[in-house]
């Protein structure tokens, strides 16, 4: 009887010791049981994965023009200077509205009044109060030749002492373009992953991480200081110089695939 009990105790002790030894070996040897069907995390890093990056570029015709117009007036008093500048801007707004621009697409961006001085032998002499008012105008629904925009520019140029600061092209609804660029980027990333898995002799599984890095449209540099050319050229010659060209949308995706 005691022999049987002692034998059972010996077996239990042996099993326990074996489990302890195995645990120590797995811990110290940094062993892990891995499921080849999924990616794993080891020491805070994913293992059994392939990481690739794909880019998508789409070119599209712009359908909107951003126009910046400024009026700057000087007078003996701040009120008179501001009234004069505001009246010029009101004429600009009227021109834009008469050509189909919504008031919601016209925004005042600058309004300030500052004293202005002349300097005589280093001595400041008060010249007057200068008021500056600027508006940004979004001209939507433009065609390739920006006919609507050139018409507005031609009519605004007839207002004296007006500065057309810059003209830039844009796209009102970029969502379909980004969708197209995103698909191109992902397809390129998938192609790279397929090639790498084939070269390395592993099986490509499902993506475990996808990172989207979108950029806004890459537009040509804005045409600046347009007003300086308006005095030297007829309105029609300035208008015909506008061409919308194409804008570029760039999007990058980084995809991590599990491998088997």
- pLDDT at residue 24, rounded to an integer: 46
For the entire predicted model, the pTM comes to 0.65
Handedness of CA 172, 176, 179, 183 (dihedral sign): negative
Unique residue bearing structure tokens 């347009």: 226
- pLDDT at residue 132, rounded to an integer: 96
Residues in CB range of 62: below 8 A, 6 or more apart: 142, 169, 170, 171, 217, 219, 244, 245, 246, 247
Token reading at 143: 């065609």
What strand order describes the sheet that includes 223-224? 106-120, 123-140, 64-75, 162-170, 223-224
- pLDDT at residue 14, rounded to an integer: 60
Token reading at 45: 């890093």
- pLDDT at residue 32, rounded to an integer: 35
If you count them, how many residues does the chain have? Answer: 260
| pLDDT tens by residue, the chain, 260 residues | 444 555 555 555 565 555 545 444 444 433 333 343 444 555 555 568 999 999 999 999 999 999 999 999 999 999 999 999 999 999 999 999 999 999 999 999 999 999 999 988 888 999 999 999 999 999 999 887 788 999 999 999 999 999 998 889 999 999 999 999 999 999 999 999 999 999 999 999 999 999 998 766 555 444 444 433 334 334 444 554 677 788 888 999 999 999 98
Instruction: Name the fold adopted by 47-59+175-216+252-259.
Output: Translation Initiation Factor IF3 (3.30.110)
CATH, range 63-171+222-244: 3.30.70.2970
* DSSP character string of 117-132: EEEETTEEEEEEEEEE
């Amino acid at each position: 009887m005691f022999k049987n009990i002692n034998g059972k105790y010996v077996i239990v002790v042996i099993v326990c010791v074996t489990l302890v030894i195995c645990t120590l070996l797995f811990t110290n040897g940094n062993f892990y049981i891995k499921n080849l069907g999924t990616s794993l995390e080891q020491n805070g890093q994913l293992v059994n994965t392939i990481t690739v990056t794909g880019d998508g570029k789409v070119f599209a015709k712009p359908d909107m023009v951003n126009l910046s117009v400024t009026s700057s007036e000087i007078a003996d008093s701040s009120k008179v200077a501001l009234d004069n500048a505001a009246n010029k801007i009101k004429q600009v707004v009227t021109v834009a509205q008469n050509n189909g621009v919504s008031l919601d697409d016209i925004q005042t961006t600058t309004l300030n009044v500052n004293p202005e001085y002349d300097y005589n032998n280093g001595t400041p002499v008060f010249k007057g109060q200068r008021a500056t008012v600027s508006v940004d105008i979004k001209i939507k629904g433009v065609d390739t030749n920006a006919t609507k925009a050139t018409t507005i520019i031609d009519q605004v140029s007839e207002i004296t002492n007006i500065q057309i600061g810059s003209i830039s092209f844009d796209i009102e609804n970029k969502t379909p373009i980004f969708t197209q660029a995103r698909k191109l980027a992902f397809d390129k990333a998938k192609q790279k992953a397929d090639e790498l898995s084939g070269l390395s002799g592993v099986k490509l599984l499902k993506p475990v991480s996808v990172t989207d890095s979108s950029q806004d449209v890459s537009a040509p540099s804005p045409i600046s200081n347009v007003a300086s050319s308006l005095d030297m050229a007829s309105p029609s010659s300035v208008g015909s110089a506008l061409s919308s060209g194409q804008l570029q949308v760039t999007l990058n995706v980084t995809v991590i695939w599990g491998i088997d």
